[in-house]
Structure 1
């Protein structure tokens, strides 16, 4: 069975979320996390025409890419997630495409309060598996490739 070669990714990079009109968001590559996460606030469940919808805002108002946009989707679920401190908590999980190394990848993100974290986006093992190999000595490999292709 042949597998395609894995792309080398560093410990940090920048990703695009075209669905949310958010670009060059700093992210941390975390092989300890199974599911990727994105910082959000004002998460609320609403019911519209008998369908449960989740509404949320991404990033913090002080973040340079913050756009004060409320996003809504009916395509979500609530899951038990083990956090970095070892506690299990329930989080909402959405699916969204992101762009990394000029590839659009559909993946799951937990909607998490990452306000105290340095990076608003965390990329976990589910996204990395079979695609990337992490070299912690490197940073912003995808972003550097993106800007060099743009020139």
Structure 2
């Protein structure tokens, strides 16, 4: 049986979030992290007067590069223990979101955390890398976006 080809990702990639109308967001590819993460602030759950709890966050706050800071709400979410890069276990809210790489959409779990002290607002973990059958070349960058540029240039030509 033939194995599917694996696509190459660089250590940094530009990703799109179609449901959030966000494109070209810088992401760090982290093979050491299992769960992907996205930068949010003002993370809180509203319960009163609602049939289901609602998670409200400010996505990519205005103080961060490539930010838009608008509020988003989610009715589907979970609270999980996530081990941070320094080894501490933290409770974080987790949502499912679609991330686009190589023009293909992947549904991935993202933990929501304040990454304002980090260089990149998005972290792509192993759960996405396995799902998309990716291999990481740490010497490369933005391979997904670069692969789409020639196709876009061909469409523009008369």
**What TM-score, normalized by structure 2, do the two folds share?**
0.90
Moved over 4 A (4+): none
Instruction: Give the number of the structure whose alpha-carbon radius of gyration is greater.
Output: 2
Q: Match of 1:83?
A: 84
**Contact 1:14 1:142 survives alignment (8 Å):** yes
Range with bigger deviation, 60-69 or 108-117 = 60-69
Residue 135 and residue 57 in structure 1: after superposition, are their counterparts in 2 closer, same or farther (change >3 A)? same
Q: Which runs of 5+ in 1 are unaligned?
A: none
Residue 145, structure 1, aligned to residue 132, structure 2: no
CA contact (8 A) 2:64 2:116 kept: no
How well do the aligned residues superpose, as a CA RMSD in angstroms? 1.3
Give the match's secondary structure for 1:19. helix
- Counterpart for residue 66 of structure 1: 67
2:14, 2:27 within 8 Å by CA — same for their partners in 1? yes
TM-score, normalised on structure 1? Answer: 0.94
TM-superposed deviation, 1:29? 0.3
Structure 2 CA distance for aligned equivalents of residues 24 and 83 of structure 1: 25
Match of 1:108 in 2: 109
Give the match for residue 120 of structure 1: 121
How far did 1:64 drift?
5.0
Q: Show structure 2 runs of 5+ residues with no match.
A: 154-158
* Structure 2 contact 61–70 (Cα < 8 Å) conserved: no
User: Are 1:45 and 2:45 an aligned pair?
Assistant: yes
State the partner residue of 2:11. 11
